[in-house]
Amino acid sequence: MSVALYDVALAMAGNLGFLAEAQVNKVVRRRLGNYLYGGFARDFATRDDGRVMVCALTKRHWADLLSATELREVVAGLEQSLGADFTSEDDRFEYREVLAGLFSRWFARHDLADVRAKLAGTSLLWSTYHTFSDLVADDVIAANPMMAVIDQPGVGRHLAPGLPVVLGSGARASVARAPVLGEHTCEVLSERLGLSRRELADLVDRGVVA
């Protein structure tokens, strides 16, 4: 079997209802921040309302972030005044909100295209931040063999994931909608308990089962 990490993430987003929420209800979830425990990472808004996720794990990442944002001297002064060492992951995390404030101002003064250009040549872990609305509008997602459009009763038509596991033969499990409450009641009662059609009809007439 082979498992793609991207497919696992996509399946989880679908199973949690994030994709259907964005596609059916047109809901854009509010961002609450993306700090990284034990290091420095966060999303930043650009001047033209873009958003970039930046993650500095190593000393090289940190140095490249300071260089790209031209904040090396400012951060050095902050280190001295706080008695901190921001080459240390512990100190970067402890003072993450102060540092994020500095970087936020830099990102807010630049358009997304400019930010892309400045970060492209660095060792930093970064990417533009997309919403689930962006994701469901991407034709690449719809073409993913793990995904299929289902018509969920009470919800409507939307993309849903199958299992993110591919067998050696390339076979994938089919994508199916979720059953509605009571949909298989009669089937279960007849197959598992051996009730006849007459008995089932009596239960339905008396309101015991729907």
3-state class (DSSP) for residue 2: strand
**How many other C-beta atoms are found inside a 10 Å radius of the C-beta of residue 140?**
8
Q: Quote helix, strand, coil % in the chain, to nearest 5.
A: 45, 15, 40
172 and 161 assigned to the same domain: yes
Residue 97, in any domain of the structure: yes
Name the residue with tokens 């979830």: 29
112 and 84 assigned to the same domain: yes
Joined together, the tokens standing for residue 110 give: 């630049």
85 and 48 assigned to the same domain: yes
Is 76:86 a contact under the CB 8 Å cutoff?
no
CATH of the domain at 44: 3.30.1540.10
Residue 133 confidence (pLDDT): 87
Residue 31 confidence (pLDDT): 63
User: Under 8 Å CB-to-CB from 85, ≥6 apart: which residues?
Assistant: 79, 91
Identity of the amino acid at 140: V
Residue 187, in any domain of the structure: yes
Residue 35, in any domain of the structure: no
Count up the domains in the chain and report the number. 3
Residue 210 confidence (pLDDT): 78
Residue 111 zone, left/alpha/beta (φ > 0; ψ -120 to 50; rest): beta
pLDDT per 10-residue tile (average), the chain, 210 residues: 88 91 87 73 93 93 96 96 93 92 96 96 91 86 90 93 83 87 90 92 90
Residue 32, in any domain of the structure: no
187 is in which domain, residue-wise? 179-210
52 and 121 assigned to the same domain: yes
Residue 34, in any domain of the structure: no
